[in-house]
Amino acid sequence: MTQSSLPFVRLKPKTKPQVIRHGFPWVYDNEVVTDRRTKSLKAGTIAILEDADRNFLALVAVNPNSKIFCRVLDRDPDAIIDQSWFAARLSKALTLRETLFERPFYRLVHAEADGLPGVIIDRFGDTAVVQPNAAWADVLVDALCAALIDVSGVENVIMNASGRARALEGLGDEARVLAGVAPERPVPVPMNGATYMADLIGGQKTGLFFDQRPNHAFAATLANGKSVLDVFSHVGGFSLACLAAGASGALAVDGSAGALELAQSGADHSGFGVALETRKGDAFAALEALAAEGRRFDVVICDPPAFAPNRKALEAGLRAYERIARLAAPLVAENGYLVLCSCSHAADLQKFRTASVRGIGRANRQAQLIHTGFAGADHPLMPQLAESGYLKALFFRL
């Protein structure tokens, strides 16, 4: 399709075009002129975005099924969104990651912040897992895959696409091999001195959460010779890093038996399997049970899923974060450490910190906030898009 044949979408007169010109990557459905023509555009269509005076603003991907009606792809009117275009974006992303990491285990593409709106790519050695969480990327996933192989040299590309983001785009869950073969068993991932086991097909998201890597590392500095409780542990993110740093023992709690099996396998591969204890069950119930058992730990970490995935869920989510803090604080030994995490972009740092401190206070504990952590540098923040800075980790000394 030539540029002259691309459809166009126009902002309403009251919508300020400078927001887009200054870098904001989204246009909402109530900000564009919607008529029969624009509503009939297929999800994922590439279009020209104009201001109300018909001046060019950007090349965008359109989805009439989403509240995010347009996602900005390129501000060059002559850009062609094809395999070469993907390759240029991927090359820039790869340069950063190869600067940051010696080994090829990282988030290669972090959506808007890497110029690929809605696209997540995590790399596990010679295998990449792609999440096209926007309709345009779903449509062009074959071109994305071909560019990914050419640029990065990966041999296997897996599409593991599911979750809330795709549902908001009107997309269904889908998992398939785009190139090469799927690993027959979990992939070992070296990180923070431990070996993690990532299930790239049946695991959560892409199989491993690289975003917490620096927070795992900071927790590990507190753990030498200490006992550790890792709640919502998934595949043992915090507990394995702490054991690698010399923790005397760790208890990993999660609702998924499969995740705990991967945590134990990671501990075994790392050479400290006997030091890891696992407990399957609801996290809130487990915290209450551990208190009833009189258990105490030198380091307690709670890394729950997003309790506030959107603004409507914010108040309920903040109450849940407060409750986690209230139940976890009594399990921390005197002068021990409590680590509370949130991946809810709707709950900003101040709101999350306030809820956490309130919960600690309700547990009759006093706290020092010694460190605030965020996602690693392979999860860059797009300054114009607050939603890209979702992860917070608060380290308290009680």
Query: What residues are labeled active site?
Result: 343
Question: What is the rounded CA–CA span in Å between residue 397 and residue 16?
Answer: 46
The answer to whether residues 220 and 174 touch, using CB atoms and an 8 Å cutoff, is no
Locate 327 and state its tokens.
């139940």
CA dist., res. 104 & res. 205, Å (int): 19
Q: Please give the structure tokens belonging to residue 51.
A: 């201001």
